[in-house]
Structure 1
């Protein structure tokens, strides 16, 4: 019997206002409030049913997920984890390693540059020009990268994934 296929989607928070003195407390801008549901609609069309959502505790991530989740057919178990705020690359991989093996589909809602780095680092193969598009775009606000890999979460390392989808609000 082969290894179990897992999917991880990475959703960067939507566009936020710069009007708050405390970065963690920044709220979504009007544009961001339009982007987040669009990302949710893309996730819904992708047919993913997330077993777990890990989100940064930052206000803009909470708001992004709240608006995106409304577009999905069923609510997902969501954990807000402060380690996702300003997460270093090693922190993101550690979070993947901690994921229970009963989770097949995982969504991470977080920030750049961490999510861009994670998508690029995990990608060993990519469908078509997806990796080029991801790297040229810089993983803008509300972007979603979807990767698949075989095996348990604790075995995730550089290059084990296949980038199978990449979406940005601008198309």
Structure 2
């Protein structure tokens, strides 16, 4: 793979979580979250992007979101459960992306707000169609995702480097 080919990053916020008497890291998905995770998986599959790698937070709700979403994919990407995604800032997420091997062309990050939304906003130097307006209007509710593209190596990921290609959020 050439670093001249566009790479894609999908930033996917976990689906709606429940609030039982457990630590934040151990919170499971709510019933609505399970439904929205599967729908988000279908929408991600519909993009046609062949994801090579999924980086998923170790939190229960993100692992459950990914388990339901990936069932909708035609092919399962390699999945790495990464504890650094939990409570990560946009800068920490950029550091993680900078460590991605260049043989990965398209990467999906399943994480949490405010980091996921912040990263989408920071990376998007430009936007296609009305994607930025839709993202600004809706924010980044549970199970939302943004797809960004850029050219270069993963080490070159930095603020403003990408184009926001797509944004989706479940119905309110």
TM-score band (shorter)?
A: over 0.9
Which aligned pairs between 1:121-160 and structure 2 lie closer than 5 A? 121-160=122-161
Alpha-carbon spacing, 1:100–1:2, altered in 2? closer, same or farther (3 Å): closer
Work out the number of aligned pairs and report it. Answer: 171
Other-structure match for 1:52: 53
Q: Which residue of 1 aligns with 2:13?
A: 12
Take 2:3 and 2:50, find their aligned partners in 1: how far apart are those partners? 22
Report what 1:94 is aligned to: 95
Q: Secondary structure at the match of 2:65?
A: helix
TM-score, with structure 1 as normaliser: 0.96
Q: 1:16, 1:29 within 8 Å by CA — same for their partners in 2? A: yes
- Whether 2:80 is the aligned partner of 1:79: answer yes
SS of equivalent to 2:48: coil
Distance 1:154 1:31 in 2: 37
1:22 paired with 2:23, answer: yes
Unaligned residue ranges in structure 2 (runs of 5+)? none
User: Helix, strand or coil for the counterpart of 2:15?
Assistant: coil
The alpha carbon displacement at 1:104 in A equals 0.5
| Mapped contact 2:13–2:111 kept (Cα < 8 A) | yes
CA 1:2/1:157 → structure 2, altered by over 3 Å: closer, same or farther? Answer: closer
Measured against aligned partners, the alpha-carbon deviations of 1:12-45 in whole angstroms (never above 9, x if no partner) come to 0000001133000000000001000000100111
Taking the aligned partners of 2:3 and 2:42, their CA distance within structure 1 comes to 32
Q: Deviations over 1:115-138 (max 9, x none)?
A: 000000000110122112212212
User: Tell me, what secondary structure is at the counterpart of 1:128?
Assistant: coil
- Aligned residues of 1:143 and 1:168 also touching (Cα < 8 A): yes
Consecutive aligned runs of 4 or more in structure 1 exceeding 3 Å deviation = none
CA contact (8 A) 2:3 2:153 kept: no
- Name which of structure 1's ranges 60-69 and 3-12 shifts more when overlaid on structure 2: 3-12
Task: Give the Å deviation of 1:2.
Answer: 7.9
